[in-house]
Structures are given as C-alpha cells and as structure tokens.
Structure 1
Amino acid sequence: KALREEGIKSILVNPNVATIQTSRRIADKVYLEPLTVPTLIDILKMERPDGIMLGFGGQTALNLGVKLYRTGIFDELDIKVLGTPVKGIEITEDRGLFKNRMLEIGVSVPPSKPVYSVGEALAAAEEIGYPVIVRVAYTLGGGGSGVAYTPEELRRIVMTALPQSIGHQVLIEKYLKHWKEIEYEVMRDRKNNCITICALENFDPLGIHTGDSIVVAPTQTLTNREYQILRSAAIKVVRGVWVIGECNIQFGLDPRSEDYVAIEVNARLSRSSALASKATGYPLAYISAKLALGYTLPELLNKVTGVTTACFEPALDYVVVKIPRWDFDKFEGPIDRTLGSQMKSVGEVMSIARSFEEAFQKAARMLDIGLEGIVCNDLDIPLNVVEEELRNPTDRRFYLLPLAMRYGLSIEKIYSMTGIDPWFLYKIKSMIEMEDKLRSMDPQDPTLPEVLKEAKRIGFSDRQIAKCLGLTEDEVRRLRLRYNIRPRAKIVDTMAAEWESQTNYCYMTYGDTEDDVKVKEGKKIIVLGAGCIRIGSSVEFDYCTMHTAWSLKEEGIDEVIVINNNPETVSTDFDMTDKLYFEELSLERVLDIWEYESADAVIVSVGGQTPNTLAKPLAERGVKILGTDAKYIDMAEDRRKFSSLLEKLNIPQPEWIYASSVDAVKSFAKSVGYPILIRPSYVLSGAAMRVVFNDSDVEEYLRLATKVSREHPVVVSKFIYNAKELEVDGVS
C-alpha cells in the first residue's frame, strides 16, 4: 500500500498460500517460492530490484537478509537495503555486539557473556552467578533459550541452543527474577527524529517471553519518572543502533528502585509491533515503509486524524489488554505447560475498554477457551496445584489467581510467588468482590440497577451476571436494557480525542456515557472475523474475511462492518473496511453492535468455527444471516442432526449413536467392536475428537468431549481402519 502510493512496484516472496499477503490484490508480483538463500538469489538476479526491505517479514526475513548481504549479492546487483542498515541488524541480533554497543552509548544491560561452547557457558555462569538465562542469537520466539538454576540445567539448555544460532553463539545472562518487563515501540527516520509510539507493560515479570505474557497498554504501574527514564533510554538505543523505521525495545525494571536494563532490541516489525499498532491506531508498518523510502516523520500525515503529522506521539484514553492463546489441550499425554523464555503460544487476542478490569475480562472471553471472564469460572482445582502453577507459571495462571484468593492466599503472598504487581492483583480482587455481591442479590432488589452498571463497567458479561443471579442470559439482557444500561460505541483516534478521528476504528465499553461512532444510513452488512489464531484456525480466515468485505463493496453495499479481535491480522487494519469493531465475537456483543448500527444482516460463514457457532442463536433473536440458513448450518454442525440427515438421504456412514450415557457408549462399542470415534459438535479442527480402543478410556474421553461441546450433542461412531479420506468443495 505504502509503495503503490509512490508509484513503486513491489515483489513479494512468500510461500504461504493462506495469507492475504499473497493475494494478487496486495503486491504487484508474488513468488510462492521457498524462503532460502539460493532461491532468493535466483529471484534477485531475475528481477533486478532497486531495493530490498528486510524488516517486514519477521525473524525469517531478517536472518535471510543478513545471509544474503554476506554473500555479496546486494553489492553485485546494486540493490539498496531500505530501512535499518545491515550493520544495525547485526548489532541487535548478535548478543555480544548488542551488549558492547549498549555499554558504549550508556545504557545498562544485565551482567552477561557471549559464549560458543558448553564449557564456556559453564565458566560464564560461575562468574556471573546462578540463576542465569540463556539467550540465543538470530532466533524467533526465544527459540532455544531458558533459565538455568544449576550447571546440569545449563548444560542441557546450551547443548540445545547452540545449533539454533546462526553464529553458534548464545549469551549467558544474569536472571533478574521478578523485575518488571516494559516494552517500547519507537520510530526513527533518517534525520534522527524519534518518537515513542507505545509503552507496553507486561502483566508477568521478566522470565516469561513477551509472546507468552499478558500485556497492558498504556503502562499502569509505572511512575511518570520511571516512564520518562525508560522512554529516554529507548530513544538513545534506537539512535545508537541506527534504526530507520520501527523498533521494539524490551527493558527490565527493578520494582524496588529505578534501576533498569535493556534486554533486547528487535530492529523489525514484530508481534509486539502489530499489537502496538492496533492498540494506538498508529499504522506502524505503513509509516515504517515510508521512512524506509526516505521520508521523515514530519513529512508524513497521520491518516487517523488527517490533521497531525506522523511525528506526534499517540495518546490513549482507554486500556488495551493482550492475552496469548495456547493450545496445549490439543495434545494427548503429559504436556509441559510451564511458561518461560521460549514462546509457546500460537496466537493472541486484544481487547479495548475504559478500565483495566473490563479489558481483562473481555480478553479472557475472546480466547474462546470456555472462560466466562476472569471470575465466575467454577474451577475445581486443588490448592496445591494452584500454588504450584503460581510459582511455576503455566498458561492457566492468570485465571487461577482469583481461585488462589478464594483459597485465602493474600495479595502479598501471591506477589511473592508470582512477581505480578499488586496493583493488578487488587483489580482482580475487586472482580471477586463484585461476583460475591451479585451472588448475594435478589433480582428484585431496588439497588440492582446501580450494581449492574458497576458490574458492566468492570467487564462482567450478561452470562456472568446471569450465572450469579440465577437468571438466563436473555433475561439479564432484557433487564439491563429496561434500566437503559447499554455499552457505548467509542473510537480509537490516536490522540485521546484532542483531534477528531477520520476513521471508523471502534470498540464498545461501559466506561463512558456517550457514543462517538456515527451511524450512517444505507445498506449495512456485518462480517464476523475468526478471532485469535489457534491450531486449526489461522490466516486463511483473514483472507476470506477481507475478500468477502471487498466483494460486498463491489456489489454496492454502503457500509461493510467487520468485527474481530486479533491484532495480528489484516482484517483488523482500520483502513481495510468501512468500519471495524475490535470486539468480542460473542452473542451479547454482536447483538449490541447489530442493534446500534441497525445493520441489515450478518455474515458468519467466512470466519471459521467461532462465528459459525453464533449463527443459530443470532437467527433465533431476529438477526438475518446471509448465506447458508442458520438451521442448515446447525444441521451440518450438530453431529446428531447431520447423522440423521445422512440416514434420511440413504447416504452410507459408519454405525453411530448419540452419546446419552457412558453405559450406552460402552454397549454400542461392544456391539460394533472397538475402536470407536468420539465426535463432539460445533468444534474446530477435531477438538476433543478421539479414537477409543477400550472401555477404560470411554469415560475420560466422553468427559473431555462434553466439556468442549457443552450445549451440543456428542456422537459416537465406528472407527474405520485404513480408509482413504476425500474432500469435496462445492458452491451452491
């Protein structure tokens, strides 16, 4: 987009056919070829480009760029590296060079030493003192890294880490346990103008990879002095490594003093960059591309305000929370769920609200893992397990915190076990207190309207409130609408309303009393996105969502409205559709937006399983579903209805029964013979689907299937060995 505006033709090399990036609508020419040095050299010789951009394809592109530079092909073909120069990339990626450069420019780093063998690593750790963290050069997602408390642990980590580094180098660094982790996203142009786009506070302390950490923006627990100290250091770092464009800098901050250290720098667009861009509304990738072409920040316009230049630092009048999505439950057997310096998440969600509590609860629901929010989850986990997962964090730790408090653990105790700032813990405690208040109330209580307002302000959904009051979700919705308790539609404008926004980048919140989003007349269609990336649902649905939106515009639809909550996708770029709601893909929130916008219809079929599951409940509440009728979607998704349809149409299928009880399933298995296949309804990529070989496994697998498919039937069928699987795609 940025290149096309300048009349520059772009050539993209990416073998990922599922992403919108390789759509012919995006780049002028696309090579679906392997990302290897020999292949890229062949393409460069064939195309003879004037320049190459290395900072937009993540760690893979950066590593390939350095390797290509070292072959001399750029000099041979007179290809200019646009953006951050290779020497800057090498300094940020090589742990030894990075440490030396930081010390040269006066930025503190943890005590550390680059090493090239296990023996050197053991000697360095003895010198620095245990515990130490192993960091690997030129890797993605903290690959190969880890924390070692003993020489034996260090030996194991280093033996795995060294082969993963381009230069066979790792850094042995002092582990700063329970220090805060703060990230800054910074822009710099060729004339040394610098601005910070966003400061991101990690809910979890140092030691957990930022991709696996809950992240909050703006920072919530820093003093203004701490914020300014780190901001000044971030600008010094960016200038010191000659970044041109966008850069992510990670700091460790001692919670007991103002001491800080620079942990690492990503001289490229990263997952944190995408988050910062969506959190602020500042188009980081677009502006970075312009800076790589030689523009300066004051020369570029902020496309959100249409008035200010790109040299204005964004200001937020809302709170953003990111929670990673893990898919450990997809795997059988003992799984190591502990989180550390190697990233294990597969995706993430982002929520926007006017309070931390509201944003946190919204984000928990967006994960689509069965959570009602941060509270009201009816967890049955013993205290000893909870304490173990607080000390050694897992993907479940954030929603075990309320349970720990209910077991009687104090805020101080939890802080000592987790390193999570007490400010966040007290916010969670306030949610527990609201849950208790709601559970003790009578729906006829005259004070209920005020309590409902406060509950909604701190993120309680209608389902959560219904659970506490003993009502249905629909009854709570009718109740709050009777009291005129509605969410307000707000705009992300990058300038905290100092200038009027020129875009329709929206969210809904109960933390305000006025609407900012203008409702237009005309034909309006809502398109539901896929939510977070997970195993079985990735960027292919981003492709589908965007092509649907573009096709609707070609058919004369006045306004196409997308609802999605994944900061990593093109469909949540504010300028890709007429209106974007960065929101929950829930029945409650889709109804809120549908009613507010007076939309004509909703499309559920291009975002995968999550929106598909909403088809029937939306239709039952009067929402028009475009495409396949909701009752036929239900017939295909509901295993019992689908199997009954096949019988009615005389289409052969394996013998099957509805799993009404464990005994019925065992009796069925006895009659048809093991193995059998347990098949829950309305699930993504075979979640909880299991092949069962004996009676002893039936109960466990049925429990798992009914857990992921609580409101829909589970079917059991005879499993057929050695059968070929064929798929047919049809259009009607």
Structure 2
Amino acid sequence: SIIETEDRKLSAERINEIGEKVAPSEAVYSVEEALNAARRIGYPVMARAAFSLGGLGSGFADNEDELEILAEQALAHSSQLIIDKSLKGWKEVEYEVVRDAFDNCITVCNMENLDPLGIHTGESIVVAPSQTLNNREYNMLRTTALKVIRHFGVVGECNIQYALNPYSEEYYIIEVNARLSRSSALASKATGYPLAYVAAKLSLGVPLPSIRNSVTGVTTACFEPSLDYCVVKIPRWDLAKFIRVSKNIGSSMNFEVVMDIYELEHCEGIILSMGGQLPNNIAMDLHRQQAKVLGTSPESIDSAENRFKFSRMLDRKGILQPRWKELTNHESAMAFCEEVGFPCLVRPSYVLSGAAMNVAYSNQDLLTYLNAASLVSKEHPVVISKFLTEAKEIDVDAVAADGEILCMAVSEHVENAGVHSGDATLVTPPQDLNTETLENIKRIARDLASLLDVTG
C-alpha cells in the first residue's frame, strides 16, 4: 500500500481502477521524457518528484525551458518524475482517514487550504474544518476518501488531498499519503482525536471500535469528531534549515544590521528603550542616517549616556553631584584625584553592566583603570569623580511621556554605593529614607525627565 501510494504512476493506475480521477499525468525517468510528456498534456504543467518529502523537487513550468531546469533538479532527488496537468487556482482540500484491518473506516477531519492549489500544504494557511464546501461537496469527497483508502488496503492513518474546481463539482485526487503527515498533526490538534496513538494500535491489528478514546477514556475511537469551532494553521519559516540564520534581534546585531532591517521592512520607526544599553550605543548613528527613533530622542540619549555632557547638564541645573573632571591626560587626572582626595570613581561612557567602571584608591589604581576605561570607551569621554564612601545608593525607575513622569518606583540598595545595580540587593519601597529625602529624589527625577524630554 505504501509503495502504491508513494509511486505516482502506480497510484494513478490504482485510483483509475475504481473510477476516480487523478489529474492527467505521466511518469517519466529523464528530462527528454518529461518534455515529451508535457507536449502531450499541454502547458502549464506541474513536475513532482516521486518518494519525496515536503514537495522537494516539485514545481510549475509554463514552457519547455522552465520544465527542463525543473526536471534536472527533480531527477537529482528521485529516479521518477511525474508530469501533471496544472490545476493552479483550484481549491485544495484534505481528508484525514483511518481504517482498521476489519474494514472499519472513518474520516477524522477535513481541512481546506486558504491558498489555492499550487502552494505546498506545509506552507499554506489551512482551516479545519473546511469553510467553503457545501454539504454535497463535503459528502462527495468524504465518500471518495473512504473508497480510496479501502481500495489501497491502508491499515492505520491516511491523508487524501483533492483539487476541487471552485466553479463546479469537478475534482481530482492529487495525492494519497498512507502515513502521518504535517496535516495529520493539525487534524489531531484541531479535533482532539489522537491520530498517532490510534494509528499505532490499528497497525497492531486492534479493531477500531475496541480502541478507547484516550482523551475521554469512555467513548470508542470509532467516531467522527464534530466541530463547533474552527482551527487555523498559519505556517512559519523553519529557520533551523538555514545555517547561521536567526530572526532574533539580539546583542549580536550591530548598527549596519539594524539599518538593513529598517530599510528592508520599511519600518515606521525604531524603539531603542526596550533593548537596554546596547541599542542606546547606536542611537546617534541611527539619527545621523535619518532613521526615525520612537520615544526619547537620540540627542537626549546621548546627553544621558555621555558622562561629560550629563555632568555639565547637572551643574547647569544646580543638581548636586560629586566633584568631577573629564579625562584629558593622566597628569591632570592624578592632580584632580590628589586635590579631591582618594578614593575616586573612573566612569567611561556608553558601557554595559558598569564595564571598566572602578574605584581607584591610589595613583597606581588610577592609571590601571584609566587605561582600561579608555579601551572600552574609545570614542566617548571618561569622567573621574569623587567617590563617596559609605553612601546609600537609590534607584528610580520611571515612565515618562514628553518629559513628564507618569509613574515611578524608588528602590533602595541594601549594599552601600559601589556595588553594581545588577549585582546588588534592592528593596522597594525604600525602608531607610525619610520623607524629605524621598521627595527630593522624586523632584530630581522629574527635573531630569523634563531636561531630557524623556518618552519611555
């Protein structure tokens, strides 16, 4: 039965024996035979490789040149090629049928492809049960499905695909699969009927009426599910087939890749705020290329990320901060640290997870950390500021629109300042702040949101 269903020529002959129709077709074994068969059938034609999975080596040809290329490719995968009359544009309908060794036979589910014939079933949107078949068409194809599975002597599960003329009741049997397929998986999910389980039992010779439905545990498996709902299968690209391909937008995506996607997809804009530090690093590059950034503007992001610009902005606004200086050379950095006194904090700009941010307790520490910070933040300034020992660290997380804060949460670090936020233990609401300090913190947060015109 498997050979008769998979061998296209044998399958067509067996179907014709019971008066059912397959599309006019011929089995060929060479490119020359394929061209001759197409001349007899008439273009356009469909070429299908026998014993192939997922439509491998199949396609449509409108002329001899296209068929020649298609036949060469198909015959590389299979020794036999079927040339069919093209039925492109007809409805594609499928039935899932099960039969036991005692000739008990039911149709479990029927499905209709949203796409017309010509799009592979695995790549089509499929609806179960069918939505555009009338009762006469449904029962006509159901009766045919039962007749075909009995004629082939299939024991187990079988998938039958039809081409149905949308303007008449004319139909052809496209394919018979005496095995579980992707459509079988959909039918099982759509109906709740355990096709794989039942097919395995039938293969062992168990009669269909004696198999219990594993879902209900009470009813027999010899029933046709009745659906008062519909299920839609929408395919997705299986990127696992392709080496080094991923739809994930992650940290490995650089500025060039983001711009490629932006231009290819004709995006309305790019949201940077959801990606953490890495998208912020390319904000100004995107802005220079006239890419539309949604939310906080790239200039505001740069004013926050660039340590020099940020510290200068705080001074202009009168917001208190530890004494600071931009690194210009090692001598001036050492002079500043001696003036304000160690320890001092070395802070590079545009870094992730506090990379190369260190507390220096001596001139030797300072030189080591400045070199590391310069390597990490080559294009942006490194700022040195007085490190406040035994200081409490407070985080404020807020959502703002056009510079106005809509809601905020204040968190208190259990550890003193100097432990990176990602490594620290945080408590919210804060447990050790008085009301005046808390209000000051919230006021500063509102001022900063307004200064940077934050949206996000």
Contact 1:282 / 1:314 at 8 angstroms: preserved in 2? yes
Pairing of 1:454-473 with structure 2 (within 5 A):
none
1:158 and 2:71 matched: yes
Larger radius of gyration: 2
CA 1:296–1:323: 2 relative to 1, 3 Å: same
Structure-1 residue corresponding to 2:41: 128
Shift of 1:163: 1.6
Letter in 1 for 2:118: G
CA displacement, residues 32-61 of structure 1 (integer Å, 9 cap, x when unaligned) = xxxxxxxxxxxxxxxxxxxxxxxxxxxxxx
State the secondary structure of the residue aligned to 1:290: helix
1:519-558 deviation line (CA, Å, top 9, x unaligned): xxxxxxxxxxxxxxx42699xxxxxxxxxxxxxxxxxxxx
Offset of 1:246 from its aligned partner?
Answer: 1.1
Query: Which residue number corresponds to residue 322 of structure 1?
Result: 233
Partner of 1:302: 213
- Residue pairs, 1:198-347, within 5 angstroms: 198-326=109-237
For 1:147, which of 57, 60, 80 is the aligned residue?
60
Shift of 1:287: 1.1
Q: What is aligned with 1:8? A: none
Instruction: Report deviation, 1:177.
Output: 2.2
Whether the 8 Å CA contact 2:191–2:225 is kept in 1: the answer is yes
Q: Which amino acid letter does the alignment assign opposite residue 256 of structure 1?
A: Y
Residue 112 of structure 1, aligned match among 11, 18, 25: 25
The 1:300/1:131 distance shift into structure 2, 3 A limit, reads: same
More strand per residue: 2
Number of aligned residue pairs: 271
Distance verdict in 2 for CA 1:325–1:653, change over 3 Å: farther
Residue 245 (structure 2) pairs with residue 535 (structure 1): no
| CA distances 1:295-323 after superposition (whole Å, capped 9, x unpaired) | 11101111222221101111111111111
Change (3 A) 1:227 1:645: farther
Residues 186-197 of structure 1: pairs in structure 2 closer than 5 A: 186-197=97-108
Change beyond 3 A, Cα 1:536–1:117: closer
SS in 1 for 2:355: helix
1:204-236: CA deviation from partner (whole Å, max 9, x where unpaired): 111110011110011100000000011111111
Q: Shift of the alpha carbon at 1:651?
A: 13
Identify if the C-alpha distance between structure 1 residues 186 and 147 changes in structure 2 by more than 3 Å, giving closer, same or farther: same
Q: Is the 8 A contact 2:48 2:83 kept in 1?
A: yes
Distance verdict in 2 for CA 1:224–1:536, change over 3 Å: same
The answer to whether the 8 A contact 1:186-1:198 is kept is: yes
How far apart, CA to CA, are the structure 1 residues paired with 2:70 and 2:377? Answer: 48
State the distance in 2 between where 1:639 and 1:174 align: 57
Change over 3 Å in CA distance of 1:285–1:655 after alignment to 2: farther
Q: Is 1:646 aligned with 2:350?
A: no
Give the unaligned 5+ runs of structure 2: 243-249, 252-274, 283-350, 359-372, 381-456
Give the superposition deviation at 1:655.
6.2
1:360-397 CA distances to partner (integer Å, 9 max, x unpaired)? xxxxxxxxxxxxxxxxxxxxxxxxxxxxxxxxxxxxxx
Alignment partners' CA distance in 2, 1:237 and 1:651: 76
| Partner in structure 1 of residue 422 of structure 2 | none
1:137 aligns with 2:44: no
SS of 2:111's partner is strand
Q: Secondary structure at the match of 2:175?
A: strand
Distance 2:106 2:280 in 1: 53
Distance 2:50 2:187 in 1: 24
Equivalent residue of 1:643, what SS? coil
TM-score by length of 1: 0.35
What is residue 173 of structure 1 aligned with on the other side?
Answer: 84
Q: Match of 1:202, as an amino acid?
A: N
Shift of the alpha carbon at 1:107? 1.6
Contact 1:252 1:262 (C-alpha < 8 Å) held by counterparts:
yes
SS of the equivalent of 2:102 reads coil
CA pair 155-307 structure 1, distance change in 2 beyond 3 A:
same
**Using the alignment, how far apart are the partners of 2:43 and 2:140 within structure 1?**
29
Taking structure 2 as the reference length, what is the TM-score of the superposition? Answer: 0.55
Checking the alignment, whether the CA contact within 8 Å between 1:646 and 1:652 is kept in structure 2 is no
Q: Percent identity?
A: 58
CA distance in 1, matches of 2:63, 2:220: 52
Q: Cα distance 1:646–1:98, how it changes in 2: closer, same or farther (>3 A)?
A: farther
Which 4+ stretches in 1 moved above 3 angstroms? 633-640, 644-657
Root-mean-square deviation (CA), in Å?
3.0
Task: Indicate conservation of the 8 Å contact 1:121/1:172, yes or no.
Answer: yes
